[in-house]
Structures are given as C-alpha cells and as structure tokens.
Structure 1
Amino acid sequence: MTNKETQHADDADHENALEQIRNISASRLGVGRSGTRPRTSSILSFRADHAQARDAVLTQVDEEALEELGLMQIQSCVTNQDQYLARPDLGRQLSDETMSLIREGCIQDPDVQIIVCDGLSSTAVEENIPDLLPMLTDGLEEQGFEVGTPLFVKYGRVDVMDAIGEELGATIIVNLIGERPGLNTAKSLSAYLVYNPQRGMATAKKSVISNIHPDGLPAIEAGAQIVDLVKQMDENEGSGLDLE
C-alpha cells in the first residue's frame, strides 16, 4: 500500500471512529465549519437548545397539571423568578404561615414524604412527574410505606426538603426537583432523599438520583430506583454518606 493509500485508510478509520462517538453522545462533536464560521445548521441548533434552556428556567409549571396530579401547592419565601435566581437562600425557607398550612393540611409522621420543586426547570417537572409520581407512590405503598400528602413547592430549592420533613415528622423525604438545564436537555430532573430530615442538614447526608429524563434515566425506571433506595435507607437508618 502506498503512503497516499495509507493516509486515505487512516482518514476513513478516524471518520468512522468519530461517527461512532457522535452516535453515542449528545455533545456537539465534529460538527464542522463553513470557512471560518460554524455551519448554519450548528448555529440554529445551538440557538434552539439555548432558548429551550432559558424557557425551562423562566417559565412556570402549569397549575392545571399540578391539580391533576393531586399536589398540594405551597411556595417558598421567594416572591418572584428574579428573586429566586438571586437569592437561593430564600428558596430553602418557608414562612410561618406556610408551615401552619402544611401542618393543618398534610399527613403527620409519614414513613415517606414526597415533594416536587420546580427548581431550575419547569420543563423537567412537566415532562417527568406525570409518569414518575404515580409510579413512585404506588411502589412505596406496595412495599408497606405510608406516603404523606404530596406537595409542590413553587420556587423551591433542594434544602427546602429539610424544613418540610422535620415539620411533618417524616422518616424519609424525597424531593423531585428540576435540574439546571443545559444545551443537551432542559428536561432533566433529580431526586434527593434524606433520612430523618432536620433543618440545616449537610449535603453529605443526602442521597441523589439524577439525570431523570427521556434520553437519560426514564421516569418509570427512576421511580423503581427511588423505591429501592428508600428501602435501603429505611433498613440502614441513614442516607448519603451514612449508606456508604
């Protein structure tokens, strides 16, 4: 084989390898250029994904969908979207009035309390919760757990679960929250779990299952994994690093 033929063979091998990588990754790999600029198709794709990510952060979860899911709706100490982005601390807190509301309207001392937070992606909530929540609730009840009154926390951050779990006396609390969207997907949800929740608990005490979305961990499968993790936490009386 001549040097030129060898070079062609190497180029073909590299192209095949790149194509294989592109087929298994959602990253923008090998998109090429047109002269000194990105290709038009690449620019349009980027702008579309960026717009979806912005919409996921800035739009609100549809209230009718929440009502259909039977979620009791409350709100953190955040008053609007701008404040939510600027003051993460307020998204972890609930007012005294809201605390009284959940004490009066929710099951006390449940084995498992489930909350849903819009977090940084309303899209993730709308995409995953309709399938995930019924699967999770049914799975937990089949395993003999008493499930508390499901809550939706508007403008909620991860650690708002600590205050709710402690207030209701939950043994375990599960927070299903929209993740920060990226250019790969704006539909990703995470599940944070805590055993014996208390205000101010360290992040290391929390267990998490992430990347719940149609192109990642499907909602139905995520529900089964969360149920299994709840069982482990209950048996070992711990979460996060306490399970290691």
Structure 2
Amino acid sequence: MNEQLVSMITQLVMEKMGQDTAATPIEASQPSVLKLVETAEAPNTTVGANEPLIKLYNGVAQSVSQGVASSIAQTTTEPAKEFQFEAGDVSDSVQAARKHTPARIGVGRAGTRPKTKTWLNFRLDHAAAVDAVYGEVSDELLQKLNVFQVATKVTDKEEYITRPDLGRRLSDEGKALIQEKCKKNPTVQIIISNGLSASAIEENVQDVYLALQQSLSNLNIDIGTTFYIDKGRVALMDEIGELLQPEVIVYLIGERPGLVSAESMSAYLCYQPRIGTVEADRMVISNIHKGGIPPLEAGAYLGTVVQKILHYKASGVGLVAKES
C-alpha cells in the first residue's frame, strides 16, 4: 500500500478522534457510548459526524446505523406454560380392565416418566421377587409340618438358577434318607420344595397341605411319608417315583415369582412318575395364593383330582383323553 496514503488516513483518524473528544465530554449521568469508525459509505445512509454507530445502553447493544434504532440483543420468548400432570381419572374401559387383571395399566405418568408412587411400587415388587428366589424356608415351618429335609445335587442358589439339571437329581445323602424314613409303595406321595419361591411355601403350604391331608383322608386314600426338598425342580418327582414307587405324586412347589405376586405356589400331579416321564403326563394347579386360588380351597380340590387320577389311572393329556 502507498505509504503516503497510509499516512494521510492515519492523520485523518487522529484528527477525528481529537474532535470527538473535544466536542463530546463524558458525563457520569450519560450512558456509555462505543464509537466505531465508518470505513465505507452505505447507500442512502446519513450519519452525523458525531453520531456513534453503536450505543451501549445498560449493557445492551443497540445499532442506530442507517438512521434506524434496531435492537440486536433483544430476544422474543413465549410465556412459560404451567406443567400439567396427567389426570388421575382414567377412561371407563381402563377401569373395567383393571377389575380383570392385576397388571399395571392406567397408572398414569409424570411427563415421560412413571409417577413416583408407581415406580416405588414396581421397585418394591421387584425386591420381593428377588427375596423370594434367594430366600429360605424356615425350620419352624418344617417342624410344624413334621417333615424332614433332603437336598438335591445343587450346592447354592446361583447354581440352582444356572443348572436346572442338578435340581432334578437328589444328592446321595438325600436318597439314603428317603429310603430310610419313607413308606414304600404308598398310594399318594406328597413332597414339598421351595423351588423358585421360598415365600410361596412360607405363606401357603401349611393350609394347602393340611387341607389336602384332610381331603385324602375323607376319601380313604393312603398317604406316604411327606418330606421337604431344598432347591428342587419339578422333574425331580420322576426320581422319587423310582425310589418309592407311589401311584400318584403331589408336588407342592414355589412358582417363579413375578411383579404381581412373589408368593404364588403350584401343585404338580403325576400318575406313576418314573425316569423318562414326558411333560404331557404331568398336570398342575397353579396360582395358589391369597390373590389367586385360596390355599384351603386348593388343598381340598387337589384331593378330588387325585381321586380322578386313581380312577382313570392316568394324568395329564392321558387323563383328558380317558375322561372324554
């Protein structure tokens, strides 16, 4: 660039800055002013010699170039809307569905999330399910029922969950104890196991067992020596059938817990179960708990089912075929 031109521009800038300083003294009461030097003419624009291009008012920059005061920091915001929770009332169809299922329907939400009460209930039910699986049946209950205890080949709860096959076989000590204490060739052999829910046994088995005993006694049906199996699976009844040779086995066992009930028990029945029995020959009365089939009612009903099995000499699919 031409050095003479640079010198001229510099001199003009210095002169203008001196004029502005002399003509516009700064007063404490006036707003702060940021002055910019216009480097190019804008078409149809008239700016006074001492008029700043940008002024700062209370920290907000406002442009007065082009003869118009336009805000560059102003933003438009809509007024905040009050947050509305979902209404507590639900439709008639949802209310009707609630009467027929314990499932979590129509529980509402807060924004995109469950309501606090709903979430806490869910966590509570989940914790109860975990406790049911990892819990143990108390010795006091076994003493009340007057039953002895045997074990399977499972060593702990983790192995029981991951190795179902080991829960279908008795330990050597368990086999010896059963052969020593149990009556051989009974008409009905009752066995009890915590299965996947110790809570189910704690809550229901006493009423079911006593009602079943009474029902079989009224029907003059012989009962074998009842015992308890720790960490047993359903198919374990086949090995017990081989050992004791009963006509019918009734197996009271804790069901896999869910988020509706962690205290549900099942009763599996089978006619002459032996190693190799297929699942179609078994039958089950499930959902035995205070919110399903009442325990006393279930025990009494099991006696009539046993009577029917003995009459037709079949269970499961075979019993259905003979009945029809």
Normalising by structure 2, we get a TM-score of 0.70
Provide, for residues 98-130 of structure 1, a one-character-per-residue CA deviation record: whole Å limited to 9, x for no partner: 212111101111100000010000000001011
- 1:73 corresponds to which residue? 149
Give me the whole-angstrom Cα distance separating, in 2, the residues matched to 1:123 and 1:241.
31
- The answer (yes or no) to whether the contact 2:152–2:169 under 8 Å persists in 1 is yes
Normalising by structure 1, we get a TM-score of 0.92
User: Once the 2 structures are TM-superposed, how far is the Cα of residue 142 of structure 1 from its aligned partner?
Assistant: 1.4
- The answer (yes or no) to whether the contact 1:72–1:149 under 8 Å persists in 2 is no
Provide, for residues 15-48 of structure 1, a one-character-per-residue CA deviation record: whole Å limited to 9, x for no partner: 1221122133211001111112110011001000
- 1:7 corresponds to which residue? none
- 1:144 corresponds to which residue? 220
Gaps of 5+ in 1: 1-12
- 1:5 corresponds to which residue? none
Matched, 1:60 2:136: yes
- Amino acid of the residue matched to residue 121 of structure 1? S
Matches within 5 A, 1:37-48: 37-48=113-124
- 2:294 corresponds to which residue? 218
User: Once the 2 structures are TM-superposed, how far is the Cα of residue 14 of structure 1 from its aligned partner?
Assistant: 7.1
- 2:276 corresponds to which residue? 200
From the superposition, tell whether residues 94 and 36 of structure 1 become closer, same or farther in structure 2 (CA, over 3 Å): same
Q: Which has the higher contact order (CA 8 A, sep 6+)?
A: 1
Gaps of 5+ in 2: 1-88
Report how many residues are paired: 232
What is the SS of the residue equivalent to 1:148? coil
Give me the whole-angstrom Cα distance separating, in 1, the residues matched to 2:234 and 2:304.
21
- The answer (yes or no) to whether the contact 1:193–1:239 under 8 Å persists in 2 is yes
Tell me the C-alpha RMSD between the 2 structures. 1.3
Matched, 1:26 2:102: yes
Kindly indicate which of the two structures has a greater share of residues assigned to helix.
Answer: 1
> Larger radius of gyration, structure 1 or 2?
2
- The answer (yes or no) to whether the contact 1:139–1:227 under 8 Å persists in 2 is yes
- The answer (yes or no) to whether the contact 2:90–2:106 under 8 Å persists in 1 is no
Provide, for residues 182-217 of structure 1, a one-character-per-residue CA deviation record: whole Å limited to 9, x for no partner: 000001011111101101211111011111010000
- Which 4+ residue blocks in structure 1 deviate beyond 2 angstroms? none
Give me the whole-angstrom Cα distance separating, in 1, the residues matched to 2:240 and 2:217.
21
Q: Percent identity?
A: 46
